[in-house]
Amino acid sequence: MDNNLNSDKRYRELLSFSLGVMNGDDVKTLIDTYKETIDSVTPYDIVKVEDRQLQMGIKPFLIKEYLEKIVNVITKSLNSYEWDKPAKGTFLYYMMLENDAFAFKLNQMKKIIKSFNGREHDDFESMRVKLLPLFREFREFEHHYVKKENILFPYLDKIWEYYRPLKVMWSLDDDIRESLNKIIGLLEGENTVWDDFKVNLGQYFFKVFRMIHKENAVVYPIASETVSKELWEEMHLQSFEYPFTFIEAPEKPMIEESDNSNSLQKGRIVSETGILSAEQVLMAFNNLPVDITIVDENDKVVFFNKAEERFFPRSPAVIGRAVQNCHPPESVHVVEDIIMAFRTGERDKADFWIQSRGKFILIQYFALKDESGVYKGVIEVSQDVTNIRELNGERRLLEWS
C-alpha cells in the first residue's frame, strides 16, 4: 500500500481522470468520482500516466493542452509528497537553487510591473525601458534548460521505465523559449501597446512558474530516488561545461586522471593516407571550427567533438543515447526521415541553415557508409558561416599577415 491506496489502482484511476478531462467530461464530476486518488497522487503516478498516454498515440501537443488542468487538480498532492532534498554540492541541489533564484527574479519583476498599476497604457514606454534588459537577462536561464535536457534527461532515459514524458517537458521548454523571444520582440518594437504585451506577459509567467513546479515537484523527486550517487557525481562534473545561472558558481570537484585516457592515446589509426595517434585525431576534431556529432547505424550517439565554441549543447551524458531522444517532439520526425533516407540510400546529404543571435549557422547531415556502401550512421556538422558568406575577391597565401 502507498498513501493508503494501491499504486496500480491509483494509476488506473488517474489515467481515467486525465482521459476524461481530455474528452471534455465535466471536471467537477470527475474530481468527485476520483477524489480518493486525486488526494493521494505521487510524482510517479503522473509520469506513468503521461507515459501511457504517449504509448496510446496521444500527441505531445494534446497532452500539453490539457496538462495544466490535470496538474491544477493534483498540485496539493504533489506538493505533499515527502522526499529527501538533495545535499549541497550535488547536481540536483544547484538545479533547484537556480529555480529558486529565477523565481525570485520573476517575482521582483512582478513588483516592477505592479508599480505601474493604473498607468500601464499611458506610461508603457517607461515600463518598456525598465523591463527590456531584465527579460534579456532571463535568456541566461537557457543554460538551466540545456543542463536539464542534455545532462539529466539522457541519464533518466536509461534508468526510467517511464521516460517518454521527458519529451513533453522538452517541448514545454521550447514553448518557454518561444514565449520569451516573443516578449523581447514586443519590448524591442516601437509600436507595441500594453494590451498586446499583457497577454504575452501572462502566458510567459504562467509557463515559467509551471515549469519550475514540474521540475521541483515531479522530475526531481523521482530522479532523487532512482539515480545512484555515482551518476549524480558524473552529472555534477558535466554541469561545469555550462554557466550556473543566477547563482554563485560552486567550486569544481577535483578528480584524478584515469589511466584509461592515457592508454587510448597510445592507439594508432593507420590508413593509406597516413598514420595518426588517437590524440592527434581528437585534437583535429576539437580544433575544427565546427560542431561534429556522430550517430551509429543503430541510431545511438557515439561521439561529439569539443569545439571551442559550440552552437548546440552536448554533454557526455548523450553518449549511447538514441538520437531521437536528443530532439524535442516537434522536430524528431525530421531526424527520423533523414536517417531513413540515408539508410535506404535515397539521400546521402541534408542541408539546413538558421540565423541565431546574429550568426548564420549551416547545419549539414552526411550519411556514413563503409567501402561496400553499407550504411553505418550519420555525421552532423554545424558551422558558423556568417563571415564566409561575406567573402569576395581573393586573399592568397602570401598575403597572410
Statement: the pTM of the whole predicted model exceeds 0.85: no
Report the distance separating Cα 357 and Cα 386, nearest Å.
11
Q: How many domains does the chain have?
A: 3
Residue 248 lies in a domain: no
Domain end position, chosen among 45, 79, 113: 79
pLDDT at 314: 85
pLDDT at 261: 46
Residue 1 lies in a domain: no
Residue-range definition of the domain harbouring residue 228: 91-239
Residues 271 and 309 in one domain: yes
Residue 217 lies in a domain: yes
Residues 67 and 101 in one domain: no
Report the distance separating Cα 382 and Cα 332, nearest Å.
18
Domain end position, chosen among 239, 254, 279: 239
Residues 105 and 164 in one domain: yes
Residue 399 lies in a domain: no
Residue 247 lies in a domain: no
pLDDT at 35: 93
Strand order in 375-384's β-sheet? 301-304, 290-296, 375-384, 359-369, 349-356
Residue 225 lies in a domain: yes
Residue 103 lies in a domain: yes
Tens digit of each residue's pLDDT (9 = 90 or more) over 207-248: 999 999 999 999 999 999 999 999 999 999 999 999 999 999
Residues 52 and 113 in one domain: no
Q: What is the mean pLDDT of each run of 10 residues along the chain (401 residues)?
A: 64 93 93 92 94 93 90 92 94 98 97 91 90 96 96 94 93 96 93 91 96 96 96 95 95 69 60 84 90 94 88 87 87 92 94 89 94 94 92 84 71
pLDDT at 262: 43
Residues 232 and 98 in one domain: yes
Tens digit of each residue's pLDDT (9 = 90 or more) over 73-130: 999 999 999 999 999 999 999 999 999 999 999 999 999 999 998 888 888 999 999 9
Residues 29 and 161 in one domain: no
pLDDT at 257: 53
The CATH number of the domain holding residue 317 is 3.30.450.20
Which ranges constitute the DSSP H helices of 25-164? 27-33, 35-38, 43-55, 60-79, 91-114, 124-138, 142-147, 153-159
Residue 336 lies in a domain: yes
Domain end position, chosen among 189, 224, 239: 239
